[in-house]
Amino acid sequence: MSKLLLIAYDPADGLQGAGFAQKLGLPFDLLCLTGVAPTDVGAERALSAGLDEVPPADALASGLSGVAGGYTHLAAVSAMRSKDVLARLAGLLDAAMVTDVIAIESPSVFKRPIVAGSIIATVEVLATPVVLTVRPAAFGTPNLGGASVAESVALAGSGTAKRLSISARGGARPDLTQAKVVVSGGRPLKDAATFESVIGGLADALGGAAGATRAAVDSGIAPNELQVGQTGKIVAPELYIAAGVSGSTQHMAGIKDSKLIVAINKDPDAPIFDNADLGLVADLYDAIPEIRAKLGR
């Protein structure tokens, strides 16, 4: 019998992944690594591992392999943390793997973007089990209701990597991948202080998150966790505002699921205008203060 184990880092992550789990149409269990697994997302069992801190990938994947028996599908929401661990888990289980699933054709056929989103590939799974990372925006929010059986599980994994230090920078702004509004800036933002006041300021005025291009991150204008694109975060807000962003294929790969894309660029021929729903040809240093003044925020 086919069955899915949905692996979540915390309850919010579980809720995000449950949209996919429900669409897959197989019975599923939800495993939350930290916090208490929600019992109303349609899982048969809501399993809580009760970890205080998630260990490095070698120990975590080894622990997960201990509870993977009996599942034909193992999935998590696509993120750096899940790609790190689930691909290792796939290696331990000798499994098939599909990264960044955006559509389900059947429980063994999935679609995913490749070459920075330039092509959509249909991938057929030829082995059991299969490990999946999924883009939640493609599957919507789950229906809530019912009552899963709540259980706690112990993950007995071991590894030799040792965490020496960790720095999490998250601030007051919403999470980039879940924000309703994202304001992103590129290379012309000059320095970290300018980025923070101009891009961060507009993001705050709109109750949104701040994002950045690779060029902005590479030149130290924005921290790495704000990078959006092929090799950064995938965002799917109601409103994406890109200011001083040229619109490279790699950047666009991360924002295609946005409902409305607004581009502010002083070059009328910037490629971003080909993919923006609304484009304003303007200097961002004039346009953004004017927007904020007229919004009164």
Partner 1 sequence: MKILVPIKRVVDPYAKVKPLPDGTGIDTTGVKFDINPFDEIAVEEAVRMKERDASTEVIVVSIGSGDAEEQLRKALAIGADRAILIETSAELDSPGVAAELAALAIELQPDVILMGKQATDDDCNQAGQMLAAKLGWPQATFACKVEPCGNALHVTRETDTGDETLELPFPCLVTTDLRLNEPRYIALPGIIKARSKPLDRRPAAVNQAPRTRTTRYEAPAARPPGRKVASVDDLLVALKERGVL
Q: Give CA–CA dist 1/197, Å, rounded.
A: 55
Q: Which residues inside 265-294 make contact with partner 1, applying CB under 8 A?
A: 268, 273, 275-282, 287, 290-291, 294
Applying CB under 8 A, the span of 44-52, 141-149, 192-200, 230-238 interacting with partner 1 comes to 230-238
- Report in angstroms how near the CB of residue 70 gets to ligand FAD at its nearest: 37
∠ CA 101-38-92, nearest 5°, is: 45
- Told to check if 106 binds partner 1 by CB under 8 A, we report no
- Told to check if 252 binds ligand FAD by CB under 6 A, we report no
* Candidate list 1, 162, 172, 269; residue touching partner 1; CB under 8 A: 162
* Candidate list 52, 164, 172, 269; residue touching partner 1; CB under 8 A: 164
Tokens of 233: 């975060």
Q: Is cis: bond before 56, omega within 30 of 0?
A: no
How far are the Cα atoms of 21, 26, 116, 118, 216 from residue 99, in angstroms, in the given order? 15, 19, 13, 16, 26
End-to-end CA distance of the chain: 55
Q: Which residues inside 25-64 make contact with partner 1, applying CB under 8 A?
A: 56-58, 61
- Report in angstroms how near the CB of residue 190 gets to ligand FAD at its nearest: 9
Q: Which residues inside 197-226 make contact with ligand FAD, applying CB under 6 A?
A: 213-216
- Told to check if 98 binds ligand FAD by CB under 6 A, we report no
Q: Give CA–CA dist 42/218, Å, rounded.
A: 42
Q: Give CA–CA dist 211/200, Å, rounded.
A: 9
Rg of the chain taking only CA atoms, in angstroms: 20
Q: Which residues inside 232-251 make contact with partner 1, applying CB under 8 A?
A: 233, 238-239, 249-250
In sequence order, what are the residues at sequence separation of 6 or more whose Cβ sits closer than 8 angstroms to the Cβ of residue 232? 214, 217, 226, 254
Q: Could you tell me whether strands 96-101 and 28-32 are parallel, antiparallel, or unpaired per DSSP bridges? A: unpaired
Applying CB under 6 A, the span of 35-43, 80-88, 137-145, 240-248 interacting with ligand FAD comes to 240-248
CA nearest to 181, candidates 77, 297, 80: 297
80 interface partner picked from ligand FAD, partner 1, none, CB below 5 to 8 A per type: partner 1
Q: Give CA–CA dist 239/158, Å, rounded.
A: 43
30 interface partner picked from partner 1, ligand FAD, none, CB below 5 to 8 A per type: none
- Told to check if 124 binds partner 1 by CB under 8 A, we report yes
- Report in angstroms how near the CB of residue 48 gets to partner 1 at its nearest: 21
- Report in angstroms how near the CB of residue 182 gets to ligand FAD at its nearest: 13
CA nearest to 84, candidates 62, 63, 110, 58: 58
- Told to check if 118 binds ligand FAD by CB under 6 A, we report no
246 interface partner picked from ligand FAD, partner 1, none, CB below 5 to 8 A per type: ligand FAD
Applying CB under 6 A, the span of 48-56, 124-132, 169-177, 230-238 interacting with ligand FAD comes to 230-238
